[in-house]
Amino acid sequence: MTDTSTAIAAAPLVALAAPYIVAVAGVVVPALVAAGLAELRKLTGLRVQEAATDKIDALIEDKVGQLVAAASDNLATKAIPIGSPLVASIAMEIAAAAPGALAKAGIDPASVADMVHGEIGKWQAGMTTVSVAKA
């Protein structure tokens, strides 16, 4: 049989401590969840995938920047379709330069071509045509 005298006597103490317990739990539980998620990321390799994707993005931006700089009109007026030889050549260069990063990021060569085309579009959106001054 249960002794109810101790349960009733503890009720005011629990009522007094409850706000403090809730406040501490509100701080400790999110911290533990964050630490657990950080460990999970380490174990699953999500950081490796993010680093590989960042490397591919940097390569694409560099190659497209070189292409835009070499163009006489900054490619501001040129339409470049997705199947363009320019897009294909940059995608092939990136696939050859970073096959390990592509594998780690889970990106196939067709997706690289899409990413290159998107980056060209971003660069073109920011470019303006410049007329050559006549002497």
Stated pTM of the model? 0.57
Q: Are 62 and 68 in contact (CB under 8 A)?
A: no
Give the closest residue to 84 by CA, choosing from 64, 100, 102.
64
Count of structural domains within the chain:
2
Q: Are residues 76 and 22 in the same domain?
A: no
Is residue 77 domain-resident?
A: yes
Task: Give the residue numbers spanning the domain of 97.
Answer: 46-126
Q: Are residues 85 and 39 in the same domain?
A: no
Q: Are 82 and 114 in contact (CB under 8 A)?
A: yes
Give pLDDT tens digits for 65-122. 888 888 777 677 777 888 888 888 889 998 888 888 888 888 887 888 889 888 888 8
